[in-house]
A and B are shown apart, each in its own frame.
Chain A
Amino acid sequence: MEHTSLLERILRGVALTLVVIFFMFPIAWIFMMSFQTNETILRIPPQLIFEPTLANYTALITGKLVTAAGTLDIAFMRNLWNSVFLSVTSVAVSLLLGVPAAYAFARHKFRGSEDIAFTLLSFKFAPALLVLLPLTLYFQKLGLANTYIGLIWVYQLICLPLILWIVRGYFEDIPADIEYAYRIGGHSWFATFRKIALPLAGPGIAAAGLLAFIFAWNNFVFALVLASADKQPVTVGALAFITSSGIQYGQISAAIVLSITPTLALALYAQRYLVEGLSLGAVKG
């Protein structure tokens, strides 16, 4: 670092600032909007100085949206809970199924293993809307439409391939001999998986889980089609803010702030793992 000249440092600072502004501006603006009423938001030219109001958050938390046309019930808190529940459960199920599967694909080459792994990946190729029509019909027949179980099941289409393929790469990066060394030392296959493979692939599993969580959280179309109001996550719930008396920008912003908070917090907390996990192999040297 001592070798960088002053000019270099200034230019780097400018570039970093530009990047931060570019990426942070929308979030900052939404954060500001969430403390304004629709009138101040829609004022032209927009103003940076305003009188902050908590009305938007109150409306969301109490579930009563007051508009010009009257009071509307919105289920935002319910949606938020649904989002948390659906994402967490889906990722948990995916990890439970995907990590051992990834290990199997990485370590045990069996006939057709590549084909199965590829088939699982191919779930991500099809546009969601294409899959949805037949799924809806099946789900109605099976009684899975509008159930949490049905939704979690469908969310596996998002989470499972992601976790499987990322984690598999991590397991493949661990030299098999490390596991052999443990097994020959008098430990079973399962103990080796638990004590050696899992900890070594830990950062990768965390990164994959986090990424899957973000994808699940942001999913819109599956829940839109397969769930009714009481099971819908925030992404679908936000549609309620487009009311007959106009779009409620203030509440939308507040809703966005509330809905990105969990993922943002999680991502910031696990940022180290995410970056390390996605860019480096788990074992070096």
Chain B
Amino acid sequence: MSPSALTISGVDKFYGPIDRGVHAVKDLTMEIGKGEIVALLGSSGCGKTSTLRMIAGFEEVSRGAISVGGRQVHTLPPVRRNVAMAFEGYSLYPPLTVRENMAFALKAARLPKSEVDAKVASIAKLLEIEDILERYPSSISGGQQQRASLGRALIREADLHLLDEPMGQLEPQLRAVLRGRIKHFIKERGLTAILVTHDQTEANALADRIAVMEGGVLQQFDTSDRIKERPANLFTGTFVGEPPMNVFEAYVGVAAGRINLRLPDGLSLDYDKDAFSAPVRDQLLSRERVVIGIRPYAVRRSKEGVPARVSANQWLGDQTHIAADFAGGSLVLVEHDRTRLDLGAPINVSIDPKNLHVFDQASGKAISHGMELA
């Protein structure tokens, strides 16, 4: 692995007194390689912004250590950490124009004016803000302010670029274009970036690896494919993926040589014993209750199968989302063709054991993904 750009080891963050205040980040450990783009993904209040601000030095680290490029930085003031940051609230300097705001970030580097101008021009082109360079922050739109703020962070040469919700205010088309350009820019210069977002599309598109956080705890830190295919627990399973994973509680039983996963409402998914690999089968049979998860793309309609009843049917222009009442809950399936199904229509669904995610009922930890143990 490339040398580490950022190491977070055993970091806790308490707002208020240690061990008694609000525990915002819990025993966080992660390592980010040089040149990597990492997304901190999670819902509001999951601790992702607290983590970012601890790296930047705006929040104290209650316990643990943070190093940037091998230097311990968590006790240093922000000025000595050599990190650049784009703020969620933009935080442009109101008395300065957009150009000055961006050039200002280079001031501490003491570059010649021609070089500063060239850098500002290239970043402005990248972010499509060339036409507003002479305007003041108060006279431009939120999206423009956000791009200016992003530009102010990207223009700097720093060991680490921290981007807090860098594209939340942009229109979808522009967002898609800029994502590509920014990723290219970061990769081309070999910068290391940490991105905070609650938008998984953005995380998927920009990041090499995604750190999913919830309740101050790092749930999983892996590539986006692996997070999708092998979610570490029930939370990542249901949080990542659109539409979300279908989840049902099931009792494990054996009857006539077949494994039954008994669902509520008297339904049951029956599989041949040999349908599972030996380790997965052993794990299943050693438990009484499990939670099973199925991605909506993996649910198939079939002639025979478990009955369900259509409760919603939406054609999104490129795929159909069908929701069905199933086993006391709701099951969502996605089909690529336009499907004509009336509300209340009975359907039968089948689920390939290769697509079954099994989680521990008590802890939510993943037990198996398809044929492999977690």
Contacts and interface: CB of A to CB of B under 8 A. Distances in A.
A283 B87 CA distance: 17
A181 interface: yes
Interface size class of A (residues with CB under 8 A): 20 to 34
Given A196-B93, A199-B95, A200-B94, A181 B79 contact: no
Interface stretch (B32-40, B104-112, B214-222, B306-314): B104-112
Contacts of B83: 184
A284 B138 CA distance: 7
B57 A184 contact: yes
B357 interface: no
Interface in B70-101: 77-79, 81, 83-85, 87-89, 91-95
Contact of A175 (B58, B77, B79, B91): B91
A184 B84 contact: yes
B56 A182 contact: no
B268 to A, nearest CB: 55
A135 to B, nearest CB: 40
B295 to A, nearest CB: 39
Nearest to A174: B94
A83 to B, nearest CB: 35
Contacts, number: 64
A147 B220 CA distance: 71
Given A178-B91, A285-B138, A186 B108 contact: yes
Contact of A177 (B77, B81, B91): B91
B137 interface: yes
A181 B57 CA distance: 11
Contacts of B85: 180-181, 184
A12 interface: no
Interface string A187-223: 1110000001001100000000000000000000000
Kindly name the residue among B56, B57, B87 whose own CB sees the greatest number of chain A CB atoms within 10 A. B87
Given A188-B79, A196-B93, A199-B95, A181 B87 contact: yes
A185 interface: yes
Interface string B44-57: 00000000000011
B95 A185 contact: no
Contacts of A180: 56, 58, 78, 85, 87, 91
Interface string B138-172: 10000001000100100010000000000000000
Contacts of A187: 79, 108
A203 to B, nearest CB: 12
A199 B95 CA distance: 9
A191 to B, nearest CB: 9
Contacts of B87: 177, 180-181
Which 3 residue pairs of A and B lie closest in terms of their CB atoms, listed nearest first? A186-B108, A177-B91, A177-B87
6 contacts: A175-B89, A180-B78, A181-B152, A184-B81, A186-B107, A186-B109
Interface of B: 56-58, 77-79, 81, 83-85, 87-89, 91-95, 104-105, 107-109, 137-138, 145, 149, 152, 156
Interface of A: 175-178, 180-189, 196, 199-200, 283-285
Given A183-B57, A187-B108, 12 more contacts: A178-B91, A180-B78, A181-B93, A181-B152, A182-B93, A184-B57, A184-B81, A185-B84, A185-B105, A186-B107, A189-B79, A196-B93
